Amino acid sequence: MENTGVKCDVCECVHNTECNKCSLPEIEVTHKTNGQAAVSVPHFCKSYERK
C-alpha cells in the first residue's frame, strides 16, 4: 500500500517520525485471521521495527 496520508502514532517504531507518520514510501498491513492478529501488537503493520 502506498503511504499517502497514512498517520501512525506508534512512536517506538524505527520508521515513525515525530510520533505522527511513517517514513516508508510503502507500507504493508496484515489482516486478522480467525480472530487473531497476524502480527504481534502494537499494530498490524508488517514494517514495524522496534527502535
Lowest mean pLDDT among 10-14, 18-22, 35-39: 35-39
Q: Across residues 37-46, what is the average pLDDT? A: 62
For every residue of 7-37, DSSP letters joined together read B---TTBTTEETTTEE--SB--B---BTTB-
Name the pTM for this structure.
0.65
The yes-or-no verdict on residue 46 having pLDDT over 70 is yes
Say how far apart CA 8 and CA 43 lie, in whole Å: 10
What residue type is assigned to position 43 of the chain? H
Q: What pLDDT score does 6 carry? A: 79
Q: Across residues 25-29, what is the average pLDDT? A: 86
